[in-house]
A = this chain, B = another copy of it.
Amino acid sequence: MPTMAVAVDLVILTVRDGALCALIIERLLPPHEGSRALPGGFVLEDEDLEAAAYRELAEETGIEKFPGHLEQLGTYGKPDRDPRGRVVAVAYLLLAPDLPIPKAGSDARHAGWIPVADLAGTLAFDHEAILSDGVERARSKLEYTNLATAFCQSPFTIAQLRQVYEVVWGVELDPRNFHRKVTSTPGFIEPTEERTSHRAGRPAQLFRTGAAESLHPPLLRPGRA
């Protein structure tokens, strides 16, 4: 039976300065030297796939303890997707709050947040398709789960949570209706005793992620009648 290299590639998304951004590295080695790519690397001999994802995350971005959500996205295995030979890539999707990127990882590649909209046509391998699948997965998961909270530092305000939806979906949402929805759906968010104190305006109540893994009924994207 044939054997092949297996890699993990990471689609790491965050909301930053009002834009949906991905964590992108610059490749130092061929192939595609100098161009942009998703973080990733080969799975080791006796390593679980998810463990490989966390290891590459730490090695390439310096993030040791990941505070967000991780799930498997899909596997990409076209025979010619990597010029080095047959490489099957298992992609993982990570949703994170706006993290400061630690110093470049151990293999010295520079990692940084880049707006997804700026990445069209600039990624190596088939990473643009993988990224696109990841973004679409994130968009639809916001409808049926409370994973939008994974983009927020905890605790967060309802306005911050709403901005996550607005940025990821690229739409504007009615603040009143959004507030009603997230507070009336059981398990979406949990209230805390705290409130914000900032320069202007009425203080906002702070919330944490709720226990529900799925929203019933869901919070659907507008304008897809």
Residues in A lying within 8 Å of B, measured CB to CB: 1-6, 42-49, 72, 74-75, 77-79, 86, 88, 90, 144, 214, 216-218, 220, 224-225
Question: Which residues of the partner chain B approach A75 to less than 8 Å between Cβ atoms?
Answer: 49, 72, 74-75, 90
* Shortest distance between the CB of A49 and any CB in chain B (Å): 4
Whether A77 pairs with B218 at a CB distance below 8 angstroms is no
Bound-state Cα–Cα, A224 to B213, Å? 12
What 9 A-B pairs are tightest by C-beta distance, nearest first? A49-B77, A3-B3, A1-B42, A2-B45, A75-B75, A46-B79, A75-B90, A1-B5, A216-B224
A18 to B1, alpha carbons, bound, how many Å? 39
> Are A220 and B217 neighbours in the complex by a CB distance under 8 Å?
yes
Decide: A79 and B47 in contact? CB cutoff 8 A: yes
- CB <8 Å contact, B78 and A48: yes
Chain B residues with CB below 8 A from A77, complex form: 6, 43, 48-49, 90
A15 to chain B, nearest CB (A): 24
In the bound complex, CA of A62 to CA of B90 (Å):
29
CB neighbours of A79 from chain B (8 A)? 45-48
Contacts of A144 in B (CB 8 A): 144
CB distance from A104 to the nearest CB of B (A): 22
Contacts known (A72-B74, A77-B48, A88-B49); A2 close to B224, Cβ less than 8 A: no
A3 adjacent to B5 (CB under 8 Å):
yes
20 CB < 8 A contacts A-B: A1-B42, A2-B5, A2-B43, A3-B4, A3-B6, A6-B6, A43-B88, A45-B86, A46-B86, A47-B79, A49-B77, A72-B75, A75-B75, A75-B90, A77-B90, A88-B90, A214-B224, A216-B220, A217-B220, A218-B218
Enumerate chain B residues within 8 angstroms of A78, measured Cβ to Cβ.
48-49
A43 / chain B contacts, CB cutoff of 8 Å: 2, 4, 77, 88
List of B residues within 8 angstroms of A220 by Cβ: 216-218
CB nearest to A88 among chain B residues:
B6
Given contacts A3-B4, A4-B4, 9 further A-B contacts (CB under 8 A): A2-B43, A3-B3, A4-B6, A4-B43, A48-B79, A49-B78, A72-B75, A144-B144, A218-B220
